[in-house]
Amino acid sequence: MKDTPLEIGRAAPRFDAYAKLTGKEKYASDFYAPDMLWAGVKRAGVPHARIRWIKTDDAIRIPGVLSVLTSKDVRGTNRQGVVRKDQPVLADDKVRHCGDPLALVVAEDRETLAKALASISLDIEPLPGVFDPENAMAQGAPLVHEENPEGNLLLKGSLEAGMGEKGFEECDETVEALFRLPSQEHAYLETEAGWAIFKDDILEITASTQSPFRDRYEAAEAIGFDMHKVRIIAPYCGGAFGGKDGITVQSLLGLAALNNPGRPVKMWWAREESILASAKRHPARLYYKLGAKKDGIFHALSVRIYFDTGPYDNLGGAVTALGLEHSGGPYRIPNTSLKAWAVFTNNPIGGPFRGFGVPQVTAAMEQTVDMMAKSLGISPLDIRVKNALRRGDRNPAGTTLTGSTGIGECLRKISASRLWQESETWKKASPPFKKRGAGLASAMQGMGYGPLIPDTANAKIELTQEGLFRVFCGVVDMGQGNASTYLQIAGEILNQGLSGMELVLPDTARTLPSGSSSASRTTFTYGNALITASKTMKKRLLERASDLLMAKGPEEMTLVPGRVRHIPSGKEMPLSALAGILSDAERTSVARYRTPSAKDSPTRDPNLSLHGIPHIVFSYAAHAAFVEVDTLTGLTEVKGFLAVTDCGRVLNPQIFEQQIQGGIAQGLGYALCEELKTDRGVIRTPDLGTYIIPTSIDLPDMESAAVELHEEMGPFGLKGAGEIAMNGPFAAVANAIADACGIRIFEGPMTPERVLGALEKKPSCQEEG
């Protein structure tokens, strides 16, 4: 079984499953050593304040406390961030949200650490805060970053196509709405964790991270240490979803280790600390206006989006830009005026989260589409099919679609499905006090970093002396299974089974820079690089073996598991023997791949291009939700869910299915129960007992199908599948609730309380069909 050559397209259990299930796989949080120290952080607890004094003398006197550090001990820039470096490692002048770190303590054990943290007192002067993104832009609003020339504005973007707003003059029908979407917590199983050691002049940091190579230079610069002496090791993450795309524990661990040379230091955030300090999905306010002709053809769209990015950039500008670019959905709309603002507030930090701004805009756009369908009396399916983008069209952001564009096929597959066909009958059979409805949503997700930031991966593969192929994976597997897929890709090309392969997980000292595990780019970009590296390796091995076996040429040779064979004679040579003959240089092969960028320039704003607009490769999906609403409690139960995805060729159906189901689950949580509640910047849902994620029995059976269009640029025809499934569920459920009871909940999540409130305001619901 383990010797069967890996093949593209074959469903196979993931390579990491056994080690993870048996607990053999070590995550960053699993590290322990006898001489290990614990590091922890004192956090602000208030949303906005000036720091006068941090009193640490009591803490340092506690036996077992090794260091108590504040911003004064940070020798570097003390600023972290990817685009804008504005987030301190340890807050210096100001507190900008409740989770800001003020002091770092290193102690012999956790009890001492807790005692020391509790003994630190803060002398801080509270400042008036801003907690609403629209108010934050008003004249005279308190400033989160006084030095920012644009006040509380992080990024403003606008895209205009055709006649823009003027397009509405030619429309027969217009619908408008305001949608409010909540902040969503990543809630990964493994909270932020890692350990570091400073030894032999090397600072080694092992962290649960999505971006080891970027972390390396970001942390080095922030704490003032030579980047070339920093090594970052990135084991599998126990979940990340974007929340570990950037610095969490890395700089703090670096500081702690530099101050305690020779001893390993561990940091592992408690769940409450993780919720307090980590970045979340941006809460958003979205004003939508859609215009169409009588026949349902979309003609104009105007959108204003406000993303609350909290106090720091944390890729919030890039998230906002991606939201802006996707705000019109996968439709042909000739006249668009799309605007978005990312605004600083003293709320928790907004940051990357699966979908990266697209779940918010899809929730709004797809509901607006249904509202249009309803006012024109066209079915929600027909209106989507009519307007669905095709290859060669310009999308609402103005980009020409040169790649595979399968949204039409996705919708047609929904309409042909058994679930959809039987939904009318199913709806009519609803039990007493229940209303049933079906709802649709279309979605798209751009792949990669966009035009300016090089979206590059460097793959490396080695034939070891033992005759195994070792794949050096430079991009993190945060649980999505990409590392498994890399073995599959190399195995397919080199005709090897799992037993003939080895994997090296990201490590800045061993693997090559390949960007972050994010943006639906991970397998696309690294996979393309690995194909080239593997093919080069194969060619070289066949050539060298053909010479050694005195064959006519490499065309007579083939690779079989563990060996190379001369086909005409049947003579074989073990790969280990071949490896023994080759030089070190011959045994390795490296290749680089950079994703091409779109040739359109829908914006002249260089800042928008820097933040990623436009993209060129898009995945698509159509989702259908089947819900039952309880008219006595307002509870919405999702009874069935169907997702049809166009993410190109599916390399491993099992891993694909896992991504789709996981995305739907997270999307349904977003739609129905997940809401990070705050009151003037203070989190009211500080733990997983109050922040409600769905359990397995809250989720329906999910059906998933793929429209396997071949994407020319993708490795073996693939496009990204990691994010797309997150985008549809919100609107599909909202539209199903509207179908069931004729109400629309404009504020998410659609909790029983909000649904019942809307039902109460609509007394006719009890009688209506």
Partner 1 sequence: MRRVFLANNTNELWDMLRQYPEAAIYAGGTDLLVRMRKGICDPSALICLERMDCLKGVREEGDQIFIGACTSHTALLADPIVQRSFPVLAAAISRLGSPHIRNMGTIGGNIVTASPAGDTLPPLYILGAAVEIMSMDKTRRLSLADFIRGPGHTDLKPGEILAGVWIKKDQPYNIFSLEKVGQRKALAISIASLAALLRVSGEGIIEEARLAWGSVGPTVTVSKEAESFLAGKRPEPGALGEAARIAMDAVSPIDDVRASKSYRRLVSGNLVLRLGASVDGNSPQPAWLPPAD
Q: Which residues bind partner 1 (CB under 8 A)?
A: 431-433, 632-635, 673, 677, 684-685, 689-690, 692, 694-695, 697-698, 751-753, 756-757, 760
Beta bridge partner(s), residue 594: 456
- Which residues neighbour 424 within 8 Å (Cβ) at sequence distance 6 or greater? none
Ramachandran category for residue 717: left, alpha or beta (phi over 0 → left; psi -120 to 50 → alpha): left
Q: Which is nearer to partner 1, 158 or 685 (CB)?
A: 685
163 vs 692, which CB is nearer to partner 1?
692
Least CB distance to partner 1 at residue 362 (A): 24
Nearest residue (CB) to partner 1, 140 versus 431: 431
> Which helix (DSSP H) or strand (DSSP E) does residue 606 occupy?
helix 606-610
**Closer Cβ to partner 1, 590 or 699, answer by number:** 699
Per the listing, tokens 């070792």 go with 470
Concatenated DSSP letters of 248-268: SSHHHHHHHHHTSTTS-EEEE
For partner 1, give the closer residue by CB, 496 or 678. 678
To the nearest whole angstrom, how small is the minimum distance from the Cβ of residue 677 to partner 1?
A: 6
Least Cβ distance, residue 369 to partner 1 (angstroms): 29
Q: How far is the CB of 64 from partner 1 (least distance, A)?
A: 15
431 or 763: whose CB is closer to partner 1? 431
Q: What is the 3-state secondary structure (H, E, C) of 328-375?
A: CCCECCCEEEEEEEEEECCCCCECCCCCCCHHHHHHHHHHHHHHHHHH
Query: CB-wise, 202 or 632, nearer to partner 1?
Result: 632
Q: How far is the CB of 689 from partner 1 (least distance, A)?
A: 7
CA dihedral 336, 282, 192, 52 (to 10 degrees): 130
Question: Which CB, 139 or 695, lies closer to partner 1?
Answer: 695
Between 243 and 669, CB nearer to partner 1: 669
Q: How far is the CB of 752 from partner 1 (least distance, A)?
A: 7
For partner 1, give the closer residue by CB, 80 or 636. 636
> Considering the complex, what minimum distance in angstroms separates the CB of residue 749 from partner 1?
10
Question: What's the min distance (Å) between Cβ of 698 and partner 1?
Answer: 5
Nearest distance in Å: CB 431, partner 1: 7
CB 699, min distance to partner 1, A:
10
The amino acid that residue 181 corresponds to is L
Residue whose CB is less far from partner 1, 34 or 432: 432
The structure tokens listed for 150 are 């644009």
Element (H, E) at 182: none
What is the largest distance, in Å, between two alpha-carbon atoms of the chain? 88
Cα 34 off chain centre by: 36
Ramachandran bin of 299, using left for φ above 0, alpha for ψ from -120 to 50, beta for the remaining angles:
alpha
Helix (H) / strand (E) element for 69: namely strand 65-69
- The answer to whether 92 and 57 have CB atoms below 8 angstroms apart is no
Question: Which residues lie across from 125 on neighbouring strands?
Answer: 50
The CA distance from 165 to 290, in Å, is: 10
Distance CA 613, CA 606 (A): 9
Could you tell me the smallest distance in angstroms from the CB atom of residue 756 to partner 1?
7
Contact call for residues 525 and 512 (beta carbons, < 8 A): no
Q: In the complex, what is the shortest distance from the CB of residue 680 to partner 1, in angstroms, rounded to a whole number?
A: 15
CA–CA distance, 656 with 718 (Å, rounded to integer): 11
DSSP type of residue 622: E
How far apart, in whole angstroms, are the C-alpha atoms of residue 459 and residue 527? 8
| Shortest distance (Å) from residue 343 CB to partner 1 | 26
Of 142 and 694, which CB lies nearer to partner 1 in the complex structure?
A: 694
Task: Spell out a b/e string for 577-605, using b for 16 or more CB atoms within 10 Å of the CB, else e.
Answer: ebbeebeeeebbbbbbbbbebbebebbeb
**525 sits in which H/E element:** helix 522-548
Any alpha helices (H) in 145-277, and if so which ranges? Answer: 212-223, 250-258, 271-277
Closer CB to partner 1, 41 or 559, in the complex: 41
Rounded least distance, CB 592 to partner 1, Å: 47
Helix (H) or strand (E) holding 425: helix 423-428
Nearest partner of 728 among 471, 244, 333, 366, judged by Cα: 366
Q: Which CB atom, from 93 or from 753, has the smaller least distance to partner 1?
A: 753
Which residues are within 8 A (CB) of 349 and not within 5 positions of it... i.e. 6 or more apart? 87, 97, 99, 277, 278, 279, 280, 309, 310, 311, 312, 314
Q: Please write down the long-range contacts of 371-378, taking CB distance under 8 Å and 24 or more positions apart.
A: 371/175, 371/177, 371/290, 371/744, 372/173, 372/175, 372/290, 372/292, 372/296, 372/298, 373/296, 374/738, 375/173, 375/175, 376/173, 376/292, 376/294, 376/296, 378/296
**Which is nearer to partner 1, 64 or 513 (by Cβ)?**
64
Contacts of 65 (CB under 8 A, 6+ apart): 59, 105, 106, 107, 108, 112, 113, 116
- Cβ proximity to partner 1: between 257 and 683 the closer is 683
Which tokens in the block code for residue 552?
A: 């006519």
CB of 364 to partner 1, least distance (A): 24
Which residue number, 284 or 673, has a Cβ lying nearer to partner 1?
673
Give the shortest CB-667-to-partner 1 separation in angstroms: 15
Report the candidate in 403, 500, 474, 488 with the shortest Cα–Cα distance to residue 711.
403
Q: State which residue, 393 or 698, has the beta carbon closest to partner 1.
A: 698
State the nearest-atom distance from the C-beta of 336 to partner 1, in Å.
38
Smallest separation (angstroms) from partner 1 to the CB of 200: 38
Beta-bridge partner residues of 503: 471
